[in-house]
């Protein structure tokens, strides 16, 4: 028995790094995990590690920056595992540039993955939980959003990243 038995969790950016670690630990504690990453091979490797260790996991390559695609990730978790009880918003990217050299494209890409990505998938999850509650079903949903001290203190060469992470902190307070 693990502390996540009966849990179904989506982890974004779970093909490597911190996201992969989140996915493996959640699975080792009994959660069924939807491993989301746009790098399908990386996501597959994490799923293979989880299943080899006796856990339950599936690959999902939905684009979290696209609202409809994020909804497909939520739908897949529910279709395959029968429920959704948590989302770990971890996906991220970097386009390091000093502010004077930062392009609009670099700004948009980082804000999209970090901030919009956290919004899109959480929105679908919360709508699912709200619907379940209105049907009279018990809901025990959790949102975990990854942010950084850069959002509170800034970070040289990362004004896009720092702004996105500050936005995630504010989003999280409002979601709570």
Catalytic option among 62, 70, 159, 161: 161
Q: What is the pLDDT of residue 66?
A: 97
Q: What is the pLDDT of residue 148?
A: 85
Three-class secondary structure assignment of the chain: CCCCCCCEEEEECCCCHHHHHHHHHHHHCCCEEEEECCCHHHHHHHHHHHHHCCCEEEEECCCCCCHHHHHHHHHHHHHHHCCCCEEEECCCCCCCECHHHCCHHHHHHHHHHHHHHHHHHHHHHHHHHHHHHHCCCCCCCEEEECCCCHHHHCCCCEHHHHHHHHHHHHHHHHHC
Is 69 one of the catalytic residues?
A: no
Q: What is the pLDDT of residue 9?
A: 98
Q: What is the pLDDT of residue 153?
A: 84
Is 148 one of the catalytic residues?
A: yes
Q: What is the pLDDT of residue 70?
A: 97
Q: What is the model's pTM? A: 0.95
Is 140 one of the catalytic residues?
A: no
**Mean pLDDT, the chain cut into blocks of 10 residues (176 residues total):** 93 97 98 98 98 98 97 98 98 84 94 96 98 97 91 84 93 94
């Amino acid at each position: 028995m693990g502390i996540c038995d009966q849990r179904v969790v989506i982890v974004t950016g779970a093909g490597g790094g911190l996201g992969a670690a989140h996915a493996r630990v959640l699975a080792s504690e009994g959660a069924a995990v939807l491993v989301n990453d746009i790098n399908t091979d990386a996501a597959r490797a994490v799923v293979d590690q989880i299943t080899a260790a006796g856990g339950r996991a599936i690959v999902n390559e939905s684009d979290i920056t696209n609202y409809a695609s994020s909804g497909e990730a939520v739908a897949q978790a529910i279709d395959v595992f029968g429920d959704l009880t948590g989302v770990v918003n971890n996906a991220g990217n970097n386009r390091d540039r000093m502010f004077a050299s930062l392009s609009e494209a670099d700004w948009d890409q980082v804000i999209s993955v970090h901030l919009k990505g956290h919004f899109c998938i959480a929105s679908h999850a919360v709508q699912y939980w709200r619907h379940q509650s209105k049907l009279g079903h018990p809901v025990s949903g959790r949102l975990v959003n990854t942010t950084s001290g850069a959002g509170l203190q800034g970070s040289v060469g990362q004004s896009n990243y720092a702004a996105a992470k500050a936005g995630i902190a504010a989003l999280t307070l409002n979601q709570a």
